[in-house]
């Protein structure tokens, strides 16, 4: 039986199309009024994903394998405005279109259901915020302090905050509400207090709204630093088991440290505060390593093995090093709720979490180390 070249081509085309259809992609298109041909449009996620596309007749298109989780991506076109970074919210498989007017104040979002929700939110937010910018301009043009204008500005600010809170209350099952809380409501000072309004709004969200939602996860991580009820690894709770690998490819397990105090240092090769804290880690190892009872394990959230290994060598990190190379939001970093680094977690010989650093401040760990090892020293005498 003879098969024609045309039949082979058609067969190949069918197989290719079938394979392509099985891979889910995200399509983001848009129009920017005032953008010129070959201007670059950038898209950046809160996780660090970056891509760019050229403008042709005002139009741009992104077609890519987005994250499976819902997340916020920022769209910008520096040649139109260096200060304009518009947030859009989507996940793998979403279809979304953004139209931006020349004044950059009336964005239109279209596409799927969540896209239409965003359009409604930003349309109403723009209307409520309009007096705010008008008052700001008037204040800037005043030569003296105008108390009446200042009071009016505060009134508008209150209205904007009320709108965002009311939006969440009426959309408790929407994944986009987590982004609204994080972008427009939450004012948590991680070293002082959690925003009570933000936490109340977050508590209203249904499991459906939080599922596979990176913005919801970031909020829970942030609140967990100040309130254990938001933590999946509360202080005095059992530390999640893990399996990671050292620089030589050897397996490291939490159970390897049973019977010892373990201080985990979550870090990355690109994290300067992490590097700056290394002398303190060395001091801890020397000062509290009573009869080999305190072990230090640095776990990197790097995704590049070469950079990870180079940083270890460069900074002479001679104690055990491990990673799963999955980055923040995945693997061991996800299990330990690592949303920002550095993070230090102290685990008891029985495998329970007894202390976590606050906002990356390594000095918050030392009082607990002093308490533990001073007591042990007294008991041994």
Encoded tokens for 67: 């994250």
The H or E element spanning position 243 is strand 243-245
The H or E element spanning position 27 is strand 26-32
Q: Is residue 14 part of a domain?
A: no
Residue 175 shares a structural domain with residue 93: no
pLDDT recorded at residue 210: 92
Q: Is residue 157 part of a domain?
A: yes
Could you give the CA distance from residue 162 to residue 184 in angstroms, rounded to a whole number? 11
pLDDT recorded at residue 32: 94
Residue at a domain's end among 63, 86, 110: 110
Could you give the CA distance from residue 345 to residue 296 in angstroms, rounded to a whole number? 10
Helix axes 366-380, 278-288, angle to 10 degrees: 10
Encoded tokens for 64: 């890519």
The answer to whether the bond into 342 is cis (omega within 30° of 0) is yes
Domain that holds residue 47: 20-110
Q: Is residue 141 part of a domain?
A: no
Contact (CB, 8 A) for 314 and 281: no
Residue 79 shares a structural domain with residue 160: no
Q: What is the mean pLDDT of each run of 10 residues along the chain (381 residues)?
A: 46 41 74 94 82 93 85 93 91 92 91 95 91 80 76 86 93 96 75 71 93 88 67 72 93 92 93 92 82 85 93 94 88 83 92 83 87 65 46
Residue 174 shares a structural domain with residue 195: yes
Residue 359 shares a structural domain with residue 250: yes
Residue 100's nearest CA partner among 114, 79, 69, 131 is 79
Could you give the CA distance from residue 60 to residue 86 in angstroms, rounded to a whole number? 15
pLDDT recorded at residue 308: 95
Contact (CB, 8 A) for 303 and 325: yes
Q: Is residue 177 part of a domain?
A: yes
Contact (CB, 8 A) for 217 and 339: yes
Residue 260 shares a structural domain with residue 374: yes
CATH assignment at residue 353: 3.40.30.10
Residue 62 shares a structural domain with residue 190: no
Q: Is residue 50 part of a domain?
A: yes
Domain count within the chain: 3
Q: Is residue 221 part of a domain?
A: yes
Residue 74 shares a structural domain with residue 105: yes
Residue 102 shares a structural domain with residue 195: no
pLDDT recorded at residue 193: 56
Residue 223 shares a structural domain with residue 266: no
Residue 249 shares a structural domain with residue 368: yes
CB atoms within 10 A of CB 181: 26
Residue 264 shares a structural domain with residue 155: no
Give me the residues paired with residue 44 across strands: 50, 74
Q: Is residue 137 part of a domain?
A: no
Residue 359 shares a structural domain with residue 251: yes
The H or E element spanning position 298 is strand 294-300
Q: Is residue 126 part of a domain?
A: no
Backbone angles phi, psi at 294, to 5 degrees: -105, 125
Could you give the CA distance from residue 136 to residue 133 in angstroms, rounded to a whole number? 5
């Amino acid at each position: 039986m003879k098969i024609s070249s045309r039949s082979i081509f058609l067969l190949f085309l069918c197989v290719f199309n079938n394979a392509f259809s099985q891979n889910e992609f995200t399509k983001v298109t848009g129009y920017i009024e005032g953008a010129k041909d070959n201007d670059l449009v950038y898209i950046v996620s809160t996780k660090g994903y970056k891509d760019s596309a050229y403008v042709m007749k005002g139009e741009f298109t992104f077609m890519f394998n987005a994250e499976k989780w819902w997340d916020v991506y920022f769209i910008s076109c520096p040649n139109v405005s260096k200060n304009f970074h518009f947030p859009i919210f989507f996940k793998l498989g979403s279809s979304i279109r953004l139209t931006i007017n020349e004044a950059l104040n009336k964005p239109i979002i279209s596409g799927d259901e969540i896209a239409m929700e965003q359009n409604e939110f930003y349309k109403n937010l723009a209307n409520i915020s309009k007096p705010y910018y008008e008052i700001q301009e008037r204040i800037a043009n005043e030569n003296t302090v105008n108390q009446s204008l200042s009071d009016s500005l505060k009134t508008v600010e209150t209205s904007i905050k009320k709108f965002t809170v009311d939006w969440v209350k009426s959309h408790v099952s929407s994944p986009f509400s987590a982004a609204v809380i994080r972008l427009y409501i939450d004012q948590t000072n991680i070293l002082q207090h959690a925003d009570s309004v933000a936490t109340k709004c977050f508590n209203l969200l249904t499991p459906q709204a939080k599922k596979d939602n990176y913005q919801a996860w970031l909020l829970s991580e942030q609140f967990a630093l100040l309130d254990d009820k938001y933590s999946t690894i509360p202080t005095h709770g059992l530390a999640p088991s893990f399996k990671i690998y050292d620089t030589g490819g050897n397996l490291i397990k939490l159970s390897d440290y049973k019977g010892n105090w373990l201080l985990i240092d979550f870090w990355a090769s690109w994290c300067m505060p992490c590097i700056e804290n290394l002398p303190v880690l060395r001091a801890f190892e020397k000062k509290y390593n009573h009869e080999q009872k305190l072990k230090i394990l640095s776990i990197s959230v790097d995704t590049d093995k070469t950079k990870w290994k180079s940083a270890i060598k460069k900074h002479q990190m001679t104690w055990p090093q491990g990673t799963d190379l999955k980055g923040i939001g995945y693997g061991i970093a996800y299990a330990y709720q690592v949303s920002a680094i550095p993070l230090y977690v102290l685990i008891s010989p029985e495998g329970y979490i007894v202390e976590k650093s606050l906002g990356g401040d390594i000095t918050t760990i030392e009082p607990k180390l002093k308490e533990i090892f001073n007591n042990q020293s007294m008991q041994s005498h």
